Structure 1
Amino acid sequence: MKDIVLYDQKCRFCKATKRVFEKLDWMNAIEWIPLQEADSTRFTEEELLREIHLITPNGSAKKGFFAVRRMLIRFPLTGLIGLILYLPFLKPAGRAGYKMVADNRTCLMGKKKDITQ
């Protein structure tokens, strides 16, 4: 079964990330759903805009770094990287790195936007 990823379709960085990950997803393991079209009451809009969300087939949710790590492990070319990111001592660095990118994601593509709009 597929994991479901909720992403911000209004964010150019998020859309670019989606395109890269889709190219890595040879096994078609991920279904991408724009958070603007998601029928989810599990998360607030603020949570969804703050970081990427992944819902596993059993219904558990992974957010931010943990969502990206899960995706990487599902792709043949990045599986080893995904496994390495499961090493316990890398979790703090992974979370901090994801937060830094997420907090600045809109300016990474050349145009900063207000996520409250």
Structure 2
Amino acid sequence: MRVIVVLYDSWCPFCKRSIKKFRKFDCLNRVEFLSFREEKYVDEYNLDIEQLKKRMHSIILENNKVEVGIDAINRICKNSPLLWPLVPILTISSYCGIGHKIYDWISSKRLIFPTGCNGDACKL
């Protein structure tokens, strides 16, 4: 049963590797990972594409609550029992603001390959 949907940037190799790792920890299949580069998902969840380009978004399906950046990562961890040990750290880092700053710094350094990427190889 999917509990949350996570929208991520499939044009970003770092993001794709991160999502691949998160999938391995999602032993209960509670998280659905979708690329916001498929416009149908942006429209379906009524999200701002410019904000999606800056930060990963998670949506709690029960109440349509949207969380972004470090809070989206924390939501993934809350839904993956193997990642529960990270929840207190992520919660505190979000609350004090440092988690958002670190997330934004990492996000600003990532590379985007707009077409033809599959795994670690890209056809440009």
> Quick check: TM above 0.5?
yes
How far does residue 22 in structure 1 lie from its aligned partner after superposition?
0.2
TM-score by length of 1: 0.82
Distance of 1:88 and 1:53 partners within structure 2? 17
Counterpart position of 1:109: none
Task: Give the whole-Å Cα distance in 1 for the aligned partners of 2:86 and 2:35.
Answer: 26
Higher strand share: 2
Q: What CA distance in whole angstroms lies between the structure 2 residues aligned with 1:77 and 1:71?
A: 11
TM-score, normalization by structure 2: 0.77
Q: Unmatched 5+ residue regions in structure 2?
A: 115-124
Of 78, 92, 98, which aligns to 1:93? 98
1:16 aligns with 2:17: yes
Runs of 4+ in structure 1 deviating by more than 4 angstroms, as ranges, are none
Give the counterpart of 1:63 among 37, 43, 68. 68
CA shift in 2, pair 1:100/1:59, >3 Å: same
Superposed displacement of residue 33, structure 1: 1.0
User: Percent identical across equivalent pairs?
Assistant: 27
Q: Deviation per CA, 1:63-115, whole angstroms, max 9, x where unpaired?
A: 00110011112212210211332237753111111111111122xxxxx669x
Question: Which ranges of structure 1 fall in alignment gaps of 5 or more residues?
Answer: 107-111
- Between 82-91 and 42-51, the greater mean CA deviation after superposition: 82-91
